[in-house]
């Protein structure tokens, strides 16, 4: 495979990584990304093939474990090791079934009315002058929804956000010593809060998500650490990516003629899917080869790590005609924004629901919405989201 150099913190790459992805793909479906010291899959076929293959996993083969940023952080490691994302068979299928049992589609769809009410309340509070739509709209929606689904008081949302922001910094490239310390402190505080909250719970008639997870614990299918780890995962994964998805989508729509029509009730689903394809919130998942395997003509040995570039796969011209164009209504069956295979994102239905309702309400209530300044992406790769989105109501 050919080598490619692209520092992920390069300001030009942070603002627009897609030209670099195209340059990578011009060198082959898999390249060696020098800055990460690993192979990177950039074609749609290679990314999907790796994510769906049982020859690859999120963890290295037994005995080949590599140091992780959290190995010396016991509070964070406790939550990470209990997470569904950090387990493979035989434990992963058990965890996933238990979470699916609790995080049902019916429970997600039952939140639609509450999400809509929340969106209207947030729009009602918009100021008359320029304001940051992320802070005023995109951030409160997912954290409020997850807090209510877990039976946590909405007043706790700012603290939940502080914990979440501190923890997810460990998933970016080369977190600093200060960020590591903040993630460890947040992990300890979050776990202690959840432990006390779960122990103090009284049965609820509406059977919230935390209660369903406790029922899985009572049945012996989840440990207490796994219940806590799942609650943390639902907040961290369900919040960070959804905020970026909403912000990126609004930015894209404001660059189109007639954004209100694109976000109307009969068009918003297709519009939301195209924003998820064109500018996803997560750009990189890693996998480890479990045995000798060949993908896209490249051989991998057990323990080899490969980066699957979701943002690159979503713009592969071999699958998506005119891939950089905004075309709602494309076939999205092969979109990789939520991953693929056994680790496909369980929160995808909730993220889609939140995104569709958020866009529909926003542009129905604010049809004259416009940018107040050029939006800038934050240097938080592997995430790809705006640092702020300054707008006016027109």
Q: Which domains does the chain have, with CATH numbers?
A: 3-392 (1.10.630.10)
pLDDT at residue 48 in the model: 95
Q: Does residue 392 come out as left (phi exceeding 0), alpha (psi in the -120 to 50 range) or beta?
A: beta
The pLDDT of residue 312 is 97
The C-alpha atoms of residue 244 and residue 184 are separated, in whole angstroms, by 24
What spatial distance separates the first Cα and last Cα of the chain, rounded to whole Å? 51
Instruction: Report the predicted TM-score, pTM, of the whole model to 2 decimal places.
Output: 0.92
Under 8 Å CB-to-CB from 337, ≥6 apart: which residues? 276, 277, 280, 281, 282, 310, 314
Contacts of 13 (CB under 8 A, 6+ apart): 6, 7, 20, 381
What pLDDT is recorded for position 81? 87
Strand order in the sheet with 30-33: 3-4, 30-33, 38-41, 305-309, 284-289, 56-57
Cβ atoms of residues 325 and 341 within 8 Å: no
What is the maximum span of the chain, computed from C-alpha positions, in angstroms?
A: 60
Any residues with CB less than 8 A from the CB of 82 and at least 6 apart, and which? 223, 225, 226, 228, 229, 230
Q: Judge whether 29 and 42 are in contact, CB under 8 Å.
A: yes
Closest CA to 236 of 85, 49, 31, 50: 85
Distances (CA, A) of 275 to 254, 263, 284, 359: 12, 11, 17, 11
User: Each residue's pLDDT tens digit in the chain (394 positions)?
Assistant: 899 999 999 999 999 999 999 999 999 999 999 999 999 999 999 999 999 999 999 889 988 877 777 788 999 999 988 888 788 888 888 888 888 887 788 888 989 999 999 999 999 999 999 999 999 999 999 999 999 888 888 899 889 999 988 998 887 767 889 999 999 999 999 999 999 988 887 665 456 888 888 888 888 988 999 999 988 988 888 788 999 999 999 999 999 999 999 999 999 999 999 999 999 999 999 999 999 999 999 999 999 999 999 999 999 999 999 999 999 998 766 889 999 988 888 889 999 999 999 999 999 999 999 999 999 999 989 999 999 999 999 7
């Amino acid at each position: 495979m050919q080598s490619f150099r692209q520092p992920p913190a390069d300001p030009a790459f942070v603002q627009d990584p897609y030209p670099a992805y195209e340059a990578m793909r011009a060198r082959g479906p898999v390249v060696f990304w020098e800055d990460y010291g690993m192979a990177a899959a950039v074609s749609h076929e290679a990314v999907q093939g790796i994510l769906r293959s049982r020859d690859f996993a999120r963890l290295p083969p037994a005995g080949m474990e590599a140091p992780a940023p959290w190995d010396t952080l016991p509070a964070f490691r406790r939550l990470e090791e209990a997470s569904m994302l950090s387990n493979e068979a035989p434990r992963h299928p058990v965890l996933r079934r238990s979470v699916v049992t609790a995080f049902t589609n019916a429970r997600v769809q039952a939140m639609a009315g509450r999400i809509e009410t929340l969106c209207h309340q947030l729009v009602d509070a918009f100021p008359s002058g320029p304001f940051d739509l992320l802070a005023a709209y995109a951030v409160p929606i997912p954290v409020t929804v997850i807090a209510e689904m877990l039976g946590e008081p909405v007043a706790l949302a700012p603290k939940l956000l502080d914990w979440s922001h501190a923890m997810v910094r460990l998933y970016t490239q080369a977190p600093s010593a200060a960020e590591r310390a903040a993630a460890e402190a947040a992990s300890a505080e979050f776990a202690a809060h959840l432990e006390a909250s779960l122990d103090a719970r009284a049965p609820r008639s509406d059977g919230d998500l935390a209660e369903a997870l406790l029922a899985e614990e009572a049945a012996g299918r989840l440990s207490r650490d796994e219940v806590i780890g799942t609650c943390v995962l639902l907040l961290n994964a369900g919040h960070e990516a959804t905020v970026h998805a909403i912000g990126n989508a609004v930015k894209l729509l404001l660059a189109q003629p007639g954004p209100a029509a694109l976000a109307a009730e009969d068009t918003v689903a297709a519009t939301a899917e195209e924003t998820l394809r064109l500018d996803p919130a997560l750009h990189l998942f890693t996998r480890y080869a479990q045995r000798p395997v060949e993908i896209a003509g490249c051989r991998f040995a057990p323990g080899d790590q490969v980066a699957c570039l979701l943002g690159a796969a979503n713009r592969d011209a071999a699958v998506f005609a005119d891939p950089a164009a905004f075309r709602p209504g494309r076939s999205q069956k092969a979109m990789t924004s939520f991953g693929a295979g056994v680790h496909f994102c369980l929160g995808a239905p909730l993220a889609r629901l939140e995104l569709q309702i958020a866009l529909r309400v926003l542009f129905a209530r604010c049809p004259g919405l416009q940018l107040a300044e050029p939006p800038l992406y934050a240097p938080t790769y592997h995430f790809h989201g705006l640092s702020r989105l300054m707008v006016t109501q027109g």
